[in-house]
Chain A
């Protein structure tokens, strides 16, 4: 596996107005890696993800994706970056006026030369991979929370992008679907070399898929751990990190 950094953040500071969430973050995400972002609720994981896909502007620092500086104002480079990434949002963000099939087909018809029946077939293959085959003609409102989540993943997968950003993909899924999702992620990673940037809290999922994790900390506004979760679990010198991986409550002080 090549060790070139496909995403790198340098001196990334982010926040909203006066609220600073993270200060001068530096990290690299390597090509073909499954990279997991961890941290307590509300520490800024989703916000970091939105910075990495160019939806928010950093307060300071810069982000490079595939050698191009991420700059939403530069149409040309931003388009090229967007063509390489797929994003699944925490809330699903399915288009409520379209059926599931149409949601998934939208990027396929827009960005590939596939036609008619082939698109439909590909859509049902995508939905089959997330266990939603047969729901092509359902509207998002007719789905359960976990089904919406999986549909959103199918849509993010539609073009088999090189980099996939998933915000809490397995939250709200039963253990079996969650494990199947892990298998799917690992598979895409092994066979297509897809790079994954995943926000998740599921310990079992982290230990199954993550090659590298970073843990954000709200108090110090910085990364407090970076590495293989199996090693961090016991060897981290940060008690919070060990607590996190060992699922222990906050110690009394």
Chain B
């Protein structure tokens, strides 16, 4: 029926402006299609308005809640310009609708609109939030620590199946990308340094440079960045979504400790596999350097490898592995923590995921710098 109404070309409103009175005649169907036009015409009536607005509704054949907006608009016009409004010939169905919609009730205030705080307020809110969050972060870290320590006494409580699954997700599934990126990184490093070192006939030191830089710094860092992007985000998204759908609440009421159930497997799996990933990354980077050394620097494979071996000490390798393990703890803890902080819905999960990656990478770099300083004074 609304189809036929929109076909009619006559506008559903006619306006007569006589001195002393504004006569409106509404006709046909007032629904979502026709009402915007009527509202528009009403808004463009010449001001000032006469003392009396008389609206004839008798020809309205159909009206829905959208059509009721016209009545609202008329009332508002009358109120604003101090005129009198007379609704004439209201058909029964319109009267019925208006009663159902309780148009006479003043619209209940929609509560305070979400405030758009000023810059100072936002600054203050953010500060409080950071303060708050650091408190929660500490208690989260505390809870996780207690959980991990309790695992030392009762190792059987660890969910072994989950741990293995996460080892696969964090470690095995990352092998291709870590391998590829490290290989290219080694290649580029060797290539760039070769240009400089060749001038001094120090070709062979390309091997030392690649090996030392990778094992001590770039291997652990590159791996950590990739793991943060792949797995830190996944942890946050997974726990965040569980939070949204009340799954975490369900765990709590079933007597599970979320820290044990959700967090411990992730952290332990990460700590176990990320150092291995870093080792793997080192090997591929050295292979990349080797390729450049052999193809463009006239080094033999033996010479390159011998130089690599003599440069690296066991301490370097252990140091790299140690750093990787620390990074793994940081990334997985931050991922889980951000997931825990999710409130609300989908958008909040997205924010948590982003924040998990950004915070994870930031902490990795920060801790790496601190460790570098410590190392400098510990083993001058």
* A residues in contact (CB < 8 Å) with B: 95-97, 99, 101, 108, 112-115, 118, 121-122, 124-126, 128-129, 133-141, 159-160, 162, 187, 191-193
Cross-interface CB contact of B346 among A96, A101, A122, A191, cutoff 8 Å: A96
Contacts of B343 in A (CB 8 A): 141
Contacts of A159 in B (CB 8 A): 32
Task: Check if B66 sits within 8 Å of A113, measured CB to CB.
Answer: no
Given A96-B347, A114-B36, A115-B36, also A138-B101 (CB < 8 A): no
Q: CA A114 – CA B107 in complex, angstroms?
A: 19
Nearest CB of B to A40, in Å = 25
Contacts of A122 in B (CB 8 A): 65-66, 69
Contacts of A139 in B (CB 8 A): 344-345
Chain A interface main SS type: loop
Given A125-B65, A134-B111, also A97-B101 (CB < 8 A): no
Task: Check if A113 sits within 8 Å of B348, measured CB to CB.
Answer: no
Number of A-B contacts (CB under 8 A): 92
Task: Check if A160 sits within 8 Å of B1, measured CB to CB.
Answer: no
Q: CA A124 – CA B111 in complex, angstroms?
A: 12
Contacts of B110 in A (CB 8 A): 101, 124, 133-137
Contacts of A114 in B (CB 8 A): 32, 35-36, 39, 66, 69
Contacts of B72 in A (CB 8 A): 121
Nearest CB of B to A48, in Å = 24
Closest 9 CB pairs of A and B: A96-B345, A97-B347, A113-B36, A136-B110, A141-B344, A134-B108, A133-B108, A125-B65, A112-B32
Task: Check if A137 sits within 8 Å of B346, measured CB to CB.
Answer: no
Task: Check if B39 sits within 8 Å of A118, measured CB to CB.
Answer: yes
> B114 within 8 Å of A by Cβ?
yes
Contacts of A187 in B (CB 8 A): 100
Q: CA A9 – CA B97 in complex, angstroms?
A: 34
Interface size bucket, B side?
35 or more
| Chain B residue nearest in CB terms to A194 | B64
Contacts of B36 in A (CB 8 A): 112-115, 118
| Chain A residue nearest in CB terms to B31 | A160
> B120 within 8 Å of A by Cβ?
no
Nearest CB of B to A65, in Å = 15
Q: CA A101 – CA B111 in complex, angstroms?
A: 12
| Residues from 96 to 136 in B contacting A, C-beta threshold 8 Å | 96-97, 100-102, 107-114
Nearest CB of A to B36, in Å = 4
> B305 within 8 Å of A by Cβ?
no
Nearest CB of A to B356, in Å = 19
Contacts of B68 in A (CB 8 A): 125
Task: Check if B112 sits within 8 Å of A160, measured CB to CB.
Answer: no
Q: CA A125 – CA B35 in complex, angstroms?
A: 15
Cross-interface CB contact of B64 among A97, A133, A191, cutoff 8 Å: A191
Task: Check if A191 sits within 8 Å of B93, measured CB to CB.
Answer: yes
